[in-house]
Structure 1
Amino acid sequence: MYDLFVLHFTSPRAWGCTADELSQMYRQHLSHDHAEVGVGSGYFLSSHGRADWTQVSLIDPNPAALQYVSRRLTTPAVIRHVADILDATTLPPQRYKSVGANYVLHCLDASGDSKRTAIANLARLTADDGTLFGATVLGDAEHNRLGRALMRICNATGAFDNTADDEASLRHHLSAHFHTVHIERRRAVAMFTASGPIR
Structure 2
Amino acid sequence: MNAPTPSTHAGQAIYTRRNLALYDTVVLRLSNRWVWRCPTAKLRADYQRHVAAAHLDVGVGTGYFLDQCRFPVPKPRLALFDLNPEALAHAAGRIERYAPRAEQVDVLAPIEVDTQPFGSIAMNYLLHCLPGPIPDKAAAFDHLMPYLAPGGVLFGATILAQGVRPSAAATQLMAFYNERGIFDNADDSLIDLRDALEARFDDVRIVVTGCVARFAVRQRRQPARRAS
Q: Same fold (TM over 0.5)?
A: yes
Larger deviation: 187-196 or 142-151? 142-151
Tell me, yes or no, if structure 1 residue 11 matches structure 2 residue 32.
yes
Q: How does 1:20-99 map to 2 (within 5 A)?
A: 20-50=41-71, 51-99=73-121
Task: Return the match for 1:175 from 198, 206, 214.
Answer: 198
Larger deviation: 127-136 or 68-77? 68-77
What is the one-letter code of the residue matched to 2:46? M
Whose radius of gyration is greater, 1 or 2? Answer: 2
How many residue pairs match? The answer is: 199
The change in CA–CA distance for 1:177 and 1:94 in structure 2 (over 3 A counts) is farther
The alpha-carbon deviation at position 113 of structure 1 amounts to 4.6
2:5 alignment partner in structure 1:
none
The alpha-carbon deviation at position 178 of structure 1 amounts to 1.0
Cα distance in structure 2, aligned partners of 1:27 and 1:192: 14
1:121 alignment partner in structure 2:
143
Which consecutive residues of structure 2, in runs of 5 or more, have no partner in the other structure? Answer: 1-21, 223-228
Cα distance in structure 2, aligned partners of 1:118 and 1:23: 23
Cα distance in structure 2, aligned partners of 1:77 and 1:179: 33
- Tell me the SS of whatever aligns to 1:75: helix
The alpha-carbon deviation at position 76 of structure 1 amounts to 4.1
Tell me, yes or no, if structure 1 residue 192 matches structure 2 residue 201.
no
2:17 alignment partner in structure 1:
none
2:158 alignment partner in structure 1:
136
Question: Does the CA contact (< 8 Å) of 1:33 and 1:53 recur in 2?
Answer: no
What is the one-letter code of the residue matched to 2:104? V
Superposed CA offset, 1:112-165 (max 9, x none): 953120122232221111000000000112221210110111100011111111
Question: Does the CA contact (< 8 Å) of 2:135 and 2:192 recur in 1?
Answer: no
The change in CA–CA distance for 1:112 and 1:102 in structure 2 (over 3 A counts) is closer
Task: Return the match for 2:126 from 79, 83, 104.
Answer: 104
Task: Return the match for 1:155 from 155, 170, 178.
Answer: 178
What is the one-letter code of the residue matched to 1:147? A
The alpha-carbon deviation at position 90 of structure 1 amounts to 3.9
- What is the root-mean-square deviation in Å for CA atoms of aligned residues? 1.6
Which consecutive residues of structure 1, in runs of 5 or more, have no partner in the other structure? Answer: none
The change in CA–CA distance for 1:116 and 1:52 in structure 2 (over 3 A counts) is same
